[in-house]
Amino acid sequence: MRDIFFKIVVNAVSVLAVAWMLSGIHLENAFTAIMVAIVLALFNTFLRPLLIALTFQITAITMGLFLLVINAGIVMLAGAITPGFEVASFWTAFWFGILMPIISFLLGLPEKIRQQQIIIKRTMNFDDHPAFKDMHQQQQSENSQDFQDAEIVDDDSENSGVR
C-alpha cells in the first residue's frame, strides 16, 4: 500500500512539473495533479494494454513508435475526463507522454536505490546467520585439515634423468 501511495505522489509531482514545463497543459491545483496521476495509472493499467493489442500490427511496422501516439491519446483522454486538467493539443499530449515518465523515473530513483541497497545488505550479510556461520567455520577447519594432511613430494628425484 505504501508503494502505491508513493508512486501516485511521484506521478502527481511529475504531472505538476510537466504542466509547468509545457504551456499547453493547464492544472487547477495540486489535488487535480493527484487525480490526473490516479486516472493515468488506471488508464495505463487497463486501457493501454488493450490499445496495444488492438494496434499491434501498426506498432510492429513503426517499430514501437506508435506507442507514443497511444500515450498521447491516453493523456488527451485523461484531459477530457479529469476536471481541472486541460490539454491544448495532440502535440502537447505527445510531449507530456514523453516527459512525464522520464521525470517520474528520476523522482523515484532515490527510493529504488534505497530499496536495492536494503536488498543487497540483506543478501550480503549472511555471515551473521548461525547456519552460515557454522558452515563457514566447518569449511575453514576442513581446509586447514587438508593442508596438514598434505604430503610433500619431491619432483626433482623423478625428473632428474630428463633434461
The pLDDT score that the predictor gives to residue 114 is 83
Q: What is the pLDDT of residues 53-78, one digit of tens each?
A: 999 999 999 999 999 999 999 999 99
Is there a domain that residue 160 lies in?
no
d(CA 155, CA 133): 39
Structural domain for 116, as ranges: 2-147
Q: Is residue 158 part of a domain?
A: no
At residue 112, the pLDDT reads: 84
Q: Is residue 162 part of a domain?
A: no
Answer yes or no: is 153 within a domain.
no
Mean pLDDT of the chain, nearest integer: 84
pLDDT of 42 reads 96
Calculate mean pLDDT across residues 87-92.
97
- 157 assigned to some structural domain: no
Of 87, 82, 106, 71, residue with least CA distance to 25: 87
- Say what the pTM is: 0.70
Q: Please check the confidence at residue 154 and state whether its pLDDT lies above 60.
A: no
Domain annotation covers residue 159 = no
Q: Percentage of the chain with pLDDT > 90?
A: 64
CA 2 to each of CA 7, 8, 9, 110: distance values in angstroms, whole numbers, following the listed order: 9, 10, 11, 16
- Whether residue 87 contacts residue 79, with contact meaning beta carbons closer than 8 Å, is answered with yes
C-alpha grid cell, residue 107: 523522482
Indicate the number of domains in the chain: 1
**Given this model, what pLDDT does residue 111 score?**
87
Mean pLDDT of 81-98: 97
C-alpha cell at 83: 476536471
The answer to whether residue 27 sits within a structural domain is yes
Answer yes or no: is 152 within a domain.
no
Question: pLDDT of 93-124, one tens digit each?
Answer: 999 999 999 999 999 989 888 888 767 666 65
